[in-house]
Amino acid sequence: MPAPVADLVLTGARVIDPETGLDAVRAVAVTGGTITAVGEAAPPAREVWDVAGSVLAPGFIDLHSHAQSTTGLRLQALDGVTTALELEAGVLPVAGAYARAAAEGRPVNYGFSASWTDARMHVLDGVPLDADGSLDLFSTHQALPNWRGPAGDRDVARILDLLEGAVADGALGIGVLVGYAPDSGRAEYFRLAGLAARLGVPTFTHTRYISTAEPGTSLEGALEVIAAAAGTGAAMHMCHVNSTSNRMIDEVAGAVDAARATGVRVTTEAYPYGAGATVIGAAFLAPEVLHRMGIGPRRLTYLATGERVADERRLAELRAADPGGDVVVHFLDEEDPADLAVLERSFTLADTAIATDAMPLVSPGGGAAPDVWPPPPGVHTHPRSAGSYARTLRWLVRERGVLTLTEALRRSSLLPAQVLAEAVPAMRRKGRVQAGADADLVVFDPDTVTDRATYAQVAPSTGFRHVLVGGTPVVRDGELQTGALPGRPIRSGDR
């Protein structure tokens, strides 16, 4: 009986599978969106691509992408991403967000958590929840008076009911921007963790504090997550430890390591930049508390105008006029070797996933950029939105040797798949190059792959030769395939 004919075979690449430890030249066969063979000999195929001299690895799984437009996700695909998930902030209603994404089409796989802040805005400030699950609700309603503060037992119950309903609709967990509502109750956070444990889904937390000044340090914020995980048994994910840990990364890393050693289920992520990005109305950017981060207004770049914020008076003006406006926060100086060493230590913490915190594109003068390709001239965003994985491979692997190539690939693919595997059994087929795994694959040149995005310019990464999503090329020979929209939804419970 003749051997089955594969749709596509990629030959000659150095194949790295982070789960089995495979690191050898192999032929990889793909049929119908699934890897059907990984072997020394190439099986019969309708199409064969010679990818000698390249590395073939699992496509990257981004646990933290706010860039959920087609354009934003295309930039991520050119950075090796095959699955981009909005988990830190999340959305409500989640069913509407999935339906809208499916109707529009997506170049990479997508999914959402249930948004705690959206639920609070709805319950405490009466914000209507758009049927299509708008991702703009959080930025649009920053200035409302009640959602940041404590809630009574009845309101907390209503908030948790909304989140439970969203998980039933497929939400991948609960996104908890507690750092934007630092005056919300600790008991509410603990109850939320208990709900997640009962539902069998993780939480994704932007921790309560970013500071080295007592009380309310970055360490205290991390310890709240650890304590909630220990006290409820929930799987709790700490977002961007590189930024929320501030200059306390060593203390935070020690606490996380010790907690994990006792079985506490805490996971972490980081992105390889010394600046963050958020809305200028964030609680931790208020003029009277900004010094707690160890920075002043001049370390903020308001993207609508490109200006470095001159002083506290100007910061107060911008927060009043445009509280949802995007701002880049330079919490570390990337030109300072000592500051870069602090950033590097975020990646020496074991099992820290690479996740981008990708942001939407902003038009000149403010507002969302049009969802068109290529991105129009003059638009801005944080460079992590387009270059996090290429920068990891260039800077942390090739130049600094902080991570081995295999470890960087594990942290970009297998590890994030494992974070979600209990809630989403289908993720056990991602982050791997094995027969039976999903054909979400990236082929790149390890010697030349690089980021090109800067704080002044949006530019895609280069060096990613092919990116396949479910076996469909989204990037081929380094070129984006604009007609390819093979992305599929990732939902809790998917098998």
| Average of per-residue pLDDT values in the chain | 97
pLDDT score of 327 more than 80 = yes
Contact criterion met (CB below 8 Å) for 294 and 264 = no
Instruction: Determine the Cα angle at 238 with ends 230 and 183, to 5°.
Output: 85
Which residue matches tokens 């460079």?
383
| pLDDT at residue 1, rounded to an integer | 54
| pLDDT at residue 260, rounded to an integer | 98
- Please write the tens of the pLDDT for every residue from 80-119: 999 999 999 999 999 999 999 999 999 999 999 999 999 9
Percent of the chain with pLDDT over 70: 99
Q: Give the dihedral sign, CA 287/292/296/302.
A: negative
pLDDT score of 414 more than 80 = yes
Query: What are the two backbone dihedrals, phi and then psi, of residue 71, each rounded to the nearest 5 degrees?
Result: -65, -45
- Please write the tens of the pLDDT for every residue from 133-161: 989 999 999 999 999 999 999 999 999 99
The reply to whether 60-286+330-427 shares the fold of 6-58+431-480 is: no
pTM for this model (two decimals): 0.98
Whether CATH 2.30.40.10 fits 6-58+431-480? yes
| pLDDT at residue 495, rounded to an integer | 93
pLDDT score of 261 more than 70 = yes
Helix (H, G, I), strand (E, B) or coil at 213: coil
| pLDDT at residue 4, rounded to an integer | 83
pLDDT score of 2 more than 70 = no
pLDDT score of 294 more than 80 = yes
Domain boundaries, the chain: 6-58+431-480, 60-286+330-427, 287-329
- Please write the tens of the pLDDT for every residue from 162-205: 999 999 999 999 999 999 999 999 999 999 999 999 999 999 99
pLDDT score of 213 more than 80 = yes
The matching CATH number, chosen from 3.20.20.70, 3.10.20.30, 3.20.20.140, 3.30.420.40, for 60-286+330-427 is 3.20.20.140
pLDDT score of 449 more than 80 = yes
The first and second tokens of residue 106, run together, are 């997506």
pLDDT score of 428 more than 70 = yes
Cβ neighbours of residue 401 under 8 Å, at least 6 residues apart?
A: none
- Please write the tens of the pLDDT for every residue from 348-381: 999 999 999 999 999 999 989 999 999 999 999 9
| pLDDT at residue 317, rounded to an integer | 98
- Strand arrangement, sheet containing 300-302: 276-279, 326-329, 300-302, 307-308
